[in-house]
Amino acid sequence: MLGVVRQRLGCGTMLRRAVERAGPAASLAGKNYSTAAKELTVRDALNSALDEEMAADPKVFIMGEEVGEYQGAYKVSRGLLEKYGPDRVRDTPITEAGFAGIGVGAAYYGLRPVVEFMTFNFSMQAIDHIINSAAKSNYMSSGQLSVPIVFRGPNGAAAGVGAQHSQCYSAWYASCPGLKVLTPYSSEDARGLLKAAIRDPDPVVFLENELLYGESFPVAADVLDPNFCLPIGKAKIEREGKHVTITSFSKMVGYALQAAEILSKDGISAEVINLRSIRPLDRDTITASVKKTNRLVTVEEGFPQHGVGAEICAVVVEECFEYLDAPVERIAGADVPMPYAANLERLAVPQVEDIVRAAKRACYRSIPIAAAA
């Protein structure tokens, strides 16, 4: 298989002529991007990041089901086949284990594959290559072998697709040493983090959300600069507050911001943290916020047991327990396979009102059940 990849992609020429790329933390990372210049959908942000990285580095190529002729199941790779040709935009059969393995082999050889899963639920077919072949090779080779590969695609619940197509894999992959796990929310996140992932020397699991692809977000002019890149492992404070900290990632950031707006009408100032990176986790930003607000609510749509929120709770207990003025609140998906029925599906996924109630409990502002009866 690797021989085919080498022949078709012209690896030898690419490796001889390719210019070394900048590291994942580009110089723009420390700037303020608050001044919005235009609106950009998450889909277009991802597409532009792929386009620019492919244009800048001939070692970058994408592969997966329907990424070429169909222009991507969610049109993220729109226009790239026409621009870069079938050698660098490769349609594959429906065999995740096969093309993930080819991608890892190409990364061993020095290329930078971006492997798309139509949904991360299908990555379970390829998990041996992701964990055993990609994540562990650098350690097992004593640092001699880098695996610069990105596994990307939609993650988590969509709508009406049942238990087998609705799982959140953030905690699954974040538990594995050797992987980096990124979870973009906004267009700025999607563009800056995908660029960082492609440039990174290690395997990156890039968890998008299907329901966010068509969402538009304001972006500053600097975000549209080809050199723009976000640092891996750094969270973003989306909204500052002083009474309670709410951590979230991916689609749940939007829910947390809506909850914070509702809470503000009741005099509760909530600080909302967009984690952006699940592994490595920005412990410093989380603990600094909790030391300020003295309360914590974690929000995720994955299963509660052994989840991302559980890890954040452990971090806070270990590093700043004495600052807590209330028990930590965890909001997560229901501990059941995702129901297909729409009414039950809504009950299985965190909602804005769940976050509001949890924050009020943490601030001792909830109404006792007996008083409400």
Helix axis angle for 42-56 and 187-199, nearest 10°, is 30
Instruction: Tell me the pairing of strands 270-274 and 236-239.
Output: antiparallel
What CA–CA distance (Å, rounded) separates 274 from 308?
A: 13
- All residues at 6 or more sequence positions from 67 whose CB lies less than 8 Å from its CB, including other chains: 77, 80, 81, 89, 90, 91, 92, 116
90 SS3 class: strand
Picking from 331, 371, 369, 363, the residue whose alpha carbon sits closest to that of residue 267 is 363
178 SS3 class: coil
In the residue annotation, 96 being an active-site residue is answered as yes
What's the DSSP call for residue 30? G
Q: How many helices (H) and strands (E) does the chain have?
A: 15, 14
What CA–CA distance (Å, rounded) separates 45 from 229?
A: 12
Tokens of 242: 């002083």
Out of 52, 65, 96, 116, the active site residue is 96
Alpha carbon distances (Å) from 337 to 116, 120, 204, 208: 25, 16, 27, 20
Tokens of 245: 């900290």
Out of 66, 165, 215, 319, the active site residue is 165
Residue type, 353: E
Contact 109/4 with Cβ under 8 angstroms?
no
Residue type, 365: R
Q: Give the active site residues.
A: 96, 165
